Amino acid sequence: MSNPTDLKYTDSHEWVKTEADGSITIGITQHAQELLGDMVFVEAPAVGRTLSAKEECAVVESVKAAADVYAPVAGEVIAANAELDSAPEAINSDPYGAWIFRMKPDNAADVAALMDAEAYQAHVDSEAH
Amino acid sequence: MTLKTTPLNAAHRAMGAKMVDFGGWDMPVNYGSQIDEHHQVRNDCGMFDVCHMRVVDAKGDGVRAFLRTLLANNADKLTVPGKALYSAMLRPDGGVIDDLIIYFMTEQWFRIVVNAGTADKDIAWMKEQAATHAPNLSITSRDDLAMVAIQGPNARAKVWQVLPQTQAATEGLVNFQAADCGEYFVARTGYTGEDGFEVMLPKEKVEAFWYDLNKAGVKPIGLGARDTLRLEAGMNLYGQDMDETVGPLESGLAWTVDLQSERDFIGKAALLANPPGSKLVGLVLQDRGVLRGHQKIISAHGEGEITSGTFSPTLQKSIALARVPNAVNIGDAVQVEIRDKLLNAQVVKYPFARNGKGLI
């Protein structure tokens, strides 16, 4: 599966979608879910929490391991995906649909500065070596 | 460092395995979904590459007497040919060198299967002890043999379909008993809590055996599911649940240690002199989250630590083995420190699941 070109990406394997109202939706990439394997638990950040860029704010756990999810940019958490409480495996089956949380970014420019799909793929390839 | 490979390495890759470095071995962690593989074994059957484990043959007059000294469990429990015994092998100070299975074949031949990561250390220790206690014995590492575990309610029937020549000799085997069928050594043992066989065979035949099993409908299972299956079954993993720094009595292995008989064995004096201050119990997490090794346990009787933790696909809950103070009892409520939170867990009697069913 290739990475959708309408999304932005981080070097810690989150994807970021900019919504019409300027808020952003965050999940983990196809590559990240494949590395982790069968997902069994997701802990999203509390709504209202203020995050700085690259701050640890959520946890995804597979049978195999726990992994931190980081805030892609600074901002405030405005929503968390409660559906993942009962269906964490949605991250495996639909990584770009199974969002984890939403933020209102402090600066839209921070989002624009994240990697595009091509740069992210190059990052994944470089980590494989 | 170059990873070691088993004779099934190419087969794993051809079957779509995700390979990982497992203690220096290039091994399959899964072939897709680890959870599906887990259920496959509980409900039907699956096959595991366990060629990295080591088969050791101890041969000669007096082999039983040697094992009586070498091992914490009592080789004298084995009276019927082929019967197997699980035992810890201890240091003089009572620390666990390894856990292993011995098969009594004849009074001149016991077969021993040891863990991959400890094999060289184990064999060196056995040879050193044999030099003192039984210099005429031969201790031979069977590097010419491969091993495949076929596990699940339908496992034995699948093996008979692929190796019909072994059926007559193996259909009467009880649990924990093996038969030497020429090139194939077939043992009704395993590490999953399900029925099945572990088959030892010449290395050059193992790839064909693996593909024949697959053609008969047996799916390959990775090390990921092997770990969740053994943990549900309440089976210890060497290096996690016990090691050289802890004794068998602190590791849930009291049932394998014979302190009743007159027999002396290496480590016995240390076990008698140092009664255990802690014990291994099962935990079931009641809050949402996943128990993992090394998480701290807080009980009314002091602190403990998780030795192995995971998500149980059978119970759909997180489970663990944990070393806790002796005063902690089955049914007690404890807390587990996970990241910056204290989550609630209950102390339970394990195993958690066996023979296709949850037991909690």
Indicate whether A107 belongs to any domain.
Answer: yes
* Closest among A32, A62, A49, A42 to B35, alpha carbons compared: A62
Q: Is the minimum CB–CB distance between B247 and chain A shorter than 8 Å?
A: no
Does residue B255 carry a pLDDT above 90?
A: yes
Distance from CA of A108 to the nearest CA of B (A): 31
DSSP H stretches of helix in chain B: 9-14, 34-43, 63-70, 119-133, 155-162, 167-170, 206-215, 223-232, 268-273
Contacts of A63 in chain B (CB under 8 A): 34-35, 224, 228, 310-311, 313
Contacts of A64 in chain B (CB under 8 A): 29, 34, 224
State how many domains chain B has: 1
Domain containing B287 equals 277-358
Q: What's B209's DSSP letter?
A: H
Q: Is the minimum CB–CB distance between A125 and chain B shorter than 8 Å?
A: no
Tens of pLDDT along A53-66?
Answer: 999 999 999 999 99
State how many domains chain A has: 1
**B350: domain CATH number?**
2.40.30.110
What does the pLDDT read at residue B340? 86
Domain containing A19 equals 8-124
What does the pLDDT read at residue B216? 98
Strands (E), B209-301: 219-220, 278-285, 296-299
User: Residue A1 — very low, low, confident or very high, per pLDDT cuts 50/70/90?
Assistant: low
> Measured between alpha carbons, how far is A106 from B92 in angstroms, rounded to an integer?
64
Distance from CA of A118 to the nearest CA of B (A): 25
Q: Is the minimum CB–CB distance between B169 and chain A shorter than 8 Å?
A: no
DSSP H stretches of helix in A6-50: 30-36
Indicate whether B169 belongs to any domain.
Answer: no
* Closest among B14, B46, B4 to B221, alpha carbons compared: B46
State the average pLDDT over residues B348-355: 96
Q: Would you give the end-to-end CA distance of chain B in angstroms?
A: 43
**A40: domain CATH number?**
2.40.50.100
Query: Is the model's pTM score more than 0.90?
Result: yes
How high is the ipTM of this complex? 0.89
Residue in A37, A41, A85 closest to B290 by CB: A41
What does the pLDDT read at residue B243? 97
Contacts of B30 in chain A (CB under 8 A): 37
Q: Is the minimum CB–CB distance between A85 and chain B shorter than 8 Å?
A: yes
Tens of pLDDT along B185-222?
Answer: 999 999 999 999 999 999 999 999 999 999 999 999 99
Does residue A129 carry a pLDDT above 70?
A: no
Distance of CA B262 to the CA centre of its chain: 28
Pairing outcome for strands B84-90 and B96-106? antiparallel
Indicate whether A2 belongs to any domain.
Answer: no
State the average pLDDT over residues B226-248: 97
- CA-based nearest residue in chain A for residue B310: A63
CB B187, CB B171: distance < 8 Å: no
Does residue A127 carry a pLDDT above 90?
A: no
Indicate whether B166 belongs to any domain.
Answer: no
State the average pLDDT over residues A111-120: 97
